Chain A
Amino acid sequence: MTIQSAKGGRRGRKELAMGLLCLTLAALIVLALRPGTDGQLSTFSLTSYRGGMTIKAPDMVMQTSSALLLLAALAALIGTWQLLRGTARIATLLAAVSAIGISAFLIWATRGKSLNLTGMLVSSIVRATPIALAALSGIYSERSGVVNIGIEGMMLTGAFLAAVVASITRNMLAGVLGGIAGGLALAVLHGILSIRFKVEQVISGTGIIILALGLTSYLQRAVLNLRPELNQPGPAMPAVAIPFLGKIPVLGPIVFNQSPIVYALIGLIFVTHIVLYQTRWGLRLRAVGEHPRAADTLGIDVFRTRYACVLISGAIAGLAGAYMSIGSAGRFNEGMTAGKGFLGLAAMIFGNWNPAGSFLGALIFGFFDSWQEKLAILQVGIPSDLLGMTPYIATMLVLAGVVGRARGPAASGQPYDKL
């Protein structure tokens, strides 16, 4: 097509732009952040105080101005190298630039103060969990060729049912199962609409979101507000430390001292990876998402595969909802998912529809979500509402930067018509 011919010229321009971006970043660090930081120290504490348990680790102390200079030099080096002999790996470069920029900003914000880095990373994981689960949910559905924009709604119903069931049974596990059931119920609806009735999947998903929002808000006002005992599942699920591993400094509190649902997430990522790439069913699933007609010809039941995937997707979304209500907030609130399902979809695209990559994407969003709170404590002088925009802006940048190269399952979004 015509784009092909234009590509050569555009790539050259892109490399130039990346090089200039690196140099601009270097200049920004030196000119905007460094002045006035002479003699100040940035302290990053690594000791964890999570759950009343102190896990000691040495503090990371650095000279603010020299650390900034170092980062600026690094950015300038990459930029110059890029200008002289540019590489095609724009994504890698973008990642490097972002990492340098964020580190510089954190070091600058912490000047003369102390920031608990371990705490920040722990809270990043906590906030990334629902996003990562939503991303996994999206992967199952989209890999089989069904766009599931209704994850947000499935999470909301999951959160609602989890809170109610846990309040009635006084049992967290029952609550989690209730949440999964809530996600499943809407997934059944989405499956029937998009697979059997061949409804445009984005519309079906939007209907599901509005329906879920209406149902949960309605039931909260009509039922839960009158009978508050139905929305008291007790305090949030406690973190469970894994013996020995949980005591490792820094790494222990971040990875091995978390809520059971976080472990479930990590397990699910491994399982999904193996299912998708190592099993026969995973191969079939991907075939159905890429070319349903060919899969059908080979004797794969397209409809059944898609139903199964949409149901798995709903169950995982329900789990994500359960994590948000009984796993962290300790109750259900109206509209509490606040776009986490959509962030999950963005993380999925970021990860190119792969479990591990999506998890990385979710971690990035989780990090930006938690830094808003931590920076508010540091009083950087930037209003917290503006910092709160960063996860969303990051999503858009990521989509704009990555999506050009990302390619989803070919048949995603297309209803299959068996002739």
Chain B
Amino acid sequence: MLEPERTRKPVLARHFLERVLQSSLMLPILAVFTALVIGALFIAASSPAVIAAWLNFSQAPLQAFSVTWSTIRNGYAALLEGSFGNPRKILEAFVQMRQTGEARALLEALRPFSESLVIATPYIFAGLAVALSFRGGLFNIGVEGQLFVGGLASVYVGYSMTGLPAYIHLPLALLAGVLAGAVWGAIPGLLKARTGAHEVINTIMMNYIAFRLTDFMLQGPMARPDNLPITPEIRPSAYLVTLFPRPVRLHAGFFLSLLIAVLVYWFLWKTTYGLEIRMVGANARAARYAGVRITRITVLTMALSGALAGLAGANQVLGVDHRMVRAFSTGYGFDSIALALLGNSHPLGVVLAALLFGFLRGGAARMQSVAGVPVEIIRIVQGLVIIFIAAPAIIRSLYHLQPQQHIGAELTQAASGGGQQE
């Protein structure tokens, strides 16, 4: 499709353009962009003002367009401001701090940015969980449930153990979440390896069991003394430390998540087990002939994936909520599927995608309060992103990109558990 342009453009510009269009980042960027454009249509179509303006199209045709445009612009402007903060406010507050030494205004102005990072943190953990399972040729849809049990275990250690110093209590609480998630993930892994039961259905079943378990725990054994369905607050010694004064809530969990991302990269690409996991994901039969014990690797992959998901739950409980409530996760586990795909199941890609989702989610809250657009718009965008990433042909034909050989091929193979089918 670029063929005719080739003769017209100067050599250097053409080269640059092709490099950009062919870079592996282009597809995800265009996918997100297209999803946001379609999201804009939904914002416009569900706004009463826009509908009224269009019903009045014959009288004031220009107004219909301007109302539509301003509705979309207001919505996305609120989204941007909610996710990054207002640049002018930040600048003013910064100047004020330089002059008076008063940091409070600056912290207040930076709060949206920090909130986005706080939201991105569980996304990083959960996205890594899904990505790891993809690399092993398994599809862990059970991240949501593993997140819940991880949260339950962490909160229990967090409030029931007393008198421990922070350097013991916090790791212990994190470990509890990790182990609970690992067990929750290992069960479907074991069933898959031993009986061939598809992990997609079993992880979903484990999700529902985890939700019921949470309901039960919060109403019974772990309920607060006043019998509200909330657990007691955890001891401060189990808090993931916050790094700035209130109202900035950014906590150590964010940096832990970056560290874990590096660890996952190291594990998958620099260790024998990591290699075996990727071998099983790429071609289970070949891996078997190469001497990889499929059963063991399947269980290991699911357990590690569950462990990362459990860490996401522990992070929420120890870093943000400090207690467990029923609506403790707002679909982090499901969104993480989208971001693992978006990040090409690579730790760096997952971190970038998680940051993007964190900013989207952080901004969406403001979009709802200021522009009256329900937060669920983000989920529509996520669904579309999955579809566009999975079917790169759609995006390519939309933007006349040249087909690429490698991107997505390995991923979609791995993502279905395709590697494990025989």
**Besides the contacts A345-B201, A385-B216, what 18 more A-B pairs have beta carbons closer than 8 Å?**
A202-B139, A202-B200, A202-B415, A202-B417, A203-B390, A206-B386, A210-B338, A211-B379, A211-B386, A211-B387, A213-B334, A346-B205, A385-B215, A386-B216, A392-B205, A393-B209, A396-B191, A413-B416
A215 to chain B: closest residue by CB: B380
B86 at the interface (CB under 8 A from A): no
CA distance A212 to B380 in the complex (A): 8
Q: Which of A200, A203, A210, A399 contacts B201 (CB 8 A)?
A: A399
Chain A residues with CB under 8 Å of B417's CB are 202
CB A371 to nearest CB in B, in angstroms, measures 14
Cβ-defined contact, B201 with A217, below 8 A: no
Q: Which of A199, A217, A386, A403 contacts B197 (CB 8 A)?
A: A403
Chain B residues with CB under 8 Å of A207's CB are 338, 383-384, 386-387, 390
Cβ-defined contact, A399 with B204, below 8 A: no
B66 at the interface (CB under 8 A from A): no
3 closest A-B pairs by beta carbon, nearest first, are: A211-B383, A214-B379, A207-B386
Question: A339-B208, A388-B212, A389-B212 given as contacts; is B341 within 8 A of A217 (CB)?
Answer: no
Chain B residues with CB under 8 Å of A206's CB are 141, 337, 386
Cβ-defined contact, A403 with B196, below 8 A: yes
Chain B residues with CB under 8 Å of A197's CB are 391, 393-394
The segment from B1-9, B350-358, B369-377 found at the interface with A is: B369-377
- B42, B205, B334, B373 — most chain A CB neighbours (10 Å): B205
Cβ-defined contact, A339 with B204, below 8 A: yes
Cβ-defined contact, A211 with B390, below 8 A: no
CB B219 to nearest CB in A, in angstroms, measures 7
Cβ-defined contact, A399 with B412, below 8 A: no
Cβ-defined contact, A222 with B373, below 8 A: yes
Cβ-defined contact, A214 with B376, below 8 A: yes
Cβ-defined contact, B382 with A200, below 8 A: no
- B139, B335, B380, B393 — most chain A CB neighbours (10 Å): B380
Cβ-defined contact, B418 with A200, below 8 A: yes
Cβ-defined contact, A213 with B379, below 8 A: yes
Cβ-defined contact, A193 with B380, below 8 A: no
B242 at the interface (CB under 8 A from A): no
Cβ-defined contact, A219 with B205, below 8 A: no
B window 278-331: CB within 8 A of A: none
CB B214 to nearest CB in A, in angstroms, measures 9
B48 at the interface (CB under 8 A from A): yes
Cβ-defined contact, A386 with B380, below 8 A: no
CB-defined interface of A349-364 with B at 8 Å, one 1/0 digit per residue? 1000000000000000
- B194, B200, B208 — most chain A CB neighbours (10 Å): B208
Cβ-defined contact, B384 with A396, below 8 A: no
11 A-B pairs with C-beta separation under 8 A = A203-B390, A206-B141, A207-B338, A214-B377, A214-B378, A214-B383, A222-B373, A345-B201, A346-B205, A386-B216, A399-B198
CB-defined interface of B173-187 with A at 8 Å, one 1/0 digit per residue? 000000000000000
Chain A residues with CB under 8 Å of B194's CB are 400
CA distance A211 to B390 in the complex (A): 14
A204 at the interface (CB under 8 A from B): yes
B348 at the interface (CB under 8 A from A): no
B window 392-422: CB within 8 A of A: 393-394, 412-413, 415-418, 421
Cβ-defined contact, A199 with B383, below 8 A: no
CA distance A400 to B205 in the complex (A): 12
A419 at the interface (CB under 8 A from B): no
Q: Which of A149, A202, A222, A401 contacts B46 (CB 8 A)?
A: A222
B99 at the interface (CB under 8 A from A): no
Question: A211-B380, A222-B373 given as contacts; is B387 within 8 A of A204 (CB)?
Answer: yes
Chain A residues with CB under 8 Å of B379's CB are 210-211, 213-214, 217-218
A342 at the interface (CB under 8 A from B): yes
CB A402 to nearest CB in B, in angstroms, measures 9
Cβ-defined contact, A149 with B200, below 8 A: yes
Chain A residues with CB under 8 Å of B196's CB are 403-404
CB-defined interface of B11-49 with A at 8 Å, one 1/0 digit per residue? 000000000000000000000000000000010001110
Cβ-defined contact, A342 with B205, below 8 A: yes
Cβ-defined contact, A203 with B208, below 8 A: no
B96 at the interface (CB under 8 A from A): no
Chain B residues with CB under 8 Å of A210's CB are 334-335, 337-338, 379, 382-383, 386
B412 to chain A: closest residue by CB: A200
B195 at the interface (CB under 8 A from A): yes
CA distance A389 to B216 in the complex (A): 10
A221 at the interface (CB under 8 A from B): yes
Chain A residues with CB under 8 Å of B421's CB are 413
B61 at the interface (CB under 8 A from A): no
CA distance A396 to B198 in the complex (A): 10
Cβ-defined contact, A222 with B139, below 8 A: no
A197 to chain B: closest residue by CB: B391
B241 at the interface (CB under 8 A from A): no
B385 to chain A: closest residue by CB: A207
Chain B residues with CB under 8 Å of A189's CB are 387
CA distance A193 to B200 in the complex (A): 20
A406 to chain B: closest residue by CB: B196
Chain A residues with CB under 8 Å of B335's CB are 210
A309 at the interface (CB under 8 A from B): no
A99 at the interface (CB under 8 A from B): no
Cβ-defined contact, B383 with A399, below 8 A: no
A2 to chain B: closest residue by CB: B288
Q: Which of B374, B378, B386 contacts A222 (CB 8 A)?
A: B374
Chain B residues with CB under 8 Å of A214's CB are 376-383
Cβ-defined contact, A221 with B374, below 8 A: yes
B202 at the interface (CB under 8 A from A): yes
Q: Which of B141, B202, B209, B220 contacts A383 (CB 8 A)?
A: B220
Cβ-defined contact, B390 with A400, below 8 A: no
Question: A385-B215, A389-B213 given as contacts; is B201 within 8 A of A346 (CB)?
Answer: yes
CB B32 to nearest CB in A, in angstroms, measures 14
Cβ-defined contact, A218 with B383, below 8 A: no
A6 at the interface (CB under 8 A from B): no
Cβ-defined contact, A404 with B195, below 8 A: yes
CB A264 to nearest CB in B, in angstroms, measures 26
A395 at the interface (CB under 8 A from B): yes
CA distance A267 to B195 in the complex (A): 34
Cβ-defined contact, A219 with B46, below 8 A: yes
A window 235-278: CB within 8 A of B: none
A208 at the interface (CB under 8 A from B): yes
A377 at the interface (CB under 8 A from B): no
Cβ-defined contact, B377 with A218, below 8 A: yes
CB B55 to nearest CB in A, in angstroms, measures 15
- A200, A201, A208, A393 — most chain B CB neighbours (10 Å): A200
A222 to chain B: closest residue by CB: B46
Chain A residues with CB under 8 Å of B48's CB are 226
B422 to chain A: closest residue by CB: A1
Chain A residues with CB under 8 Å of B384's CB are 207, 211
Cβ-defined contact, A193 with B338, below 8 A: no
Chain B residues with CB under 8 Å of A215's CB are 380, 383
A415 to chain B: closest residue by CB: B412
CA distance A10 to B387 in the complex (A): 43
Cβ-defined contact, B205 with A396, below 8 A: yes
CA distance A179 to B206 in the complex (A): 29
CA distance A404 to B386 in the complex (A): 32
CA distance A193 to B412 in the complex (A): 13
Cβ-defined contact, A389 with B195, below 8 A: no
